[in-house]
Amino acid sequence: MSVHKEIKRVTTHVLSEMKLKGEKISMLTAYDYSMARLVDEAGVDVILVGDSASNVMAGNETTLPITLDHMIYHGTSVVKAVKRALVVVDLPFGTYQGNSKEALQSAIRIMKETAADAVKLEGGAEVLESVNRILSAGIPIMGHLGLMPQSIHRFGTYSVRAKEEAEAEKLLSDAHLLEEAGCFGIVLEKIPAVLGEQVASELKIPIIGIGAGGGVDGQVLVLHDMLGITQEFSPRFLRRYHNLAAEIKGAVGNYVEDVKSRSFPNEKEQY
Ligand code: KIV
């Protein structure tokens, strides 16, 4: 008999059971091995290798510049670390909107080269052909509606989406389309809480919110934002659980001081 406790992996099926039972789903981003390992060991249900890596890891202003190769690099690093969470990798801008064949090739590369569990993409009716083609190859998809950062140049701002009735109706109809197509979940970003709650109650698949209120089935945040590593980004929905920027700067400052003052290394720290 094995003395090791079996870790039950989170699957898309587990997530739908969680929704049925009313158990909230926790989701965070991660982009590298070391962080993904900590996040997984801390018990998060879903790890998103988000294209927010473009901002957080590469310092770009938008998510548009990140490439499929970059996402595969991040995805591969994360998957190596994770033992329990479901790992979802974002399809980056320009790899699925052009045509459905290209979309399928992009999704296949992610699944083959990273060994992730699923992909995520932004949009509803506009990308439905790509969604259908990817799903027909047996690749699970998480949708993303509301504020869609890959369309920032069309929106013009990062402000709250779907406040007007027409946009709210389109979002609701897109959410139904994605569910009917077979997506296993949807991220709703920065929309009114009442709309988030309505989508979650009308759909059977789990709805994960970021700035979509408490009436959805789970929450997602960008890891570097909730840990307080990034400092310039402070939307109302962001709860910071730590001020890691201050801690890191303090520790690095102490190291610099110790090197300059010759107190590091001491006698025990050398051979
Ligand atoms: O890329 C990302 O981090 C995301 C989350 C904001 C949901 O899509």
Each residue's pLDDT tens digit, 238-247 = 999 999 999 9
Whether 100 lines ligand 1, by a CB cut-off of 6 Å, is no
Each residue's pLDDT tens digit, 164-200 = 999 999 999 999 999 999 999 999 999 999 999 999 9
Question: Mind telling me the catalytic residues?
Answer: 189
Each residue's pLDDT tens digit, 55-110 = 999 999 999 999 999 999 999 999 999 999 999 999 999 999 999 999 999 999 99
Q: Spell out the residues 6+ positions from residue 249 whose beta carbon is closer than 8 angstroms to its own.
A: none
Ligand 1 site-directed mutation target among 46, 52, 70, 224, most atoms within 8 Å of CB? 52
Each residue's pLDDT tens digit, 28-64 = 999 999 999 999 999 999 999 999 999 999 999 999 9
Whether 187 lines ligand 1, by a CB cut-off of 6 Å, is yes
Q: Spell out the residues 6+ positions from residue 233 whose beta carbon is closer than 8 angstroms to its own.
A: 225
Between the CA of 234 and the centroid of ligand 1 the distance, in Å, is: 15
State the pTM of this model: 0.96
Between the CA of 222 and the centroid of ligand 1 the distance, in Å, is: 7
Whether 230 lines ligand 1, by a CB cut-off of 6 Å, is no
Q: Could you tell me the domains of the chain? A: 3-240 (3.20.20.60), 245-271 (no CATH)
What pLDDT was estimated at residue 1? 47
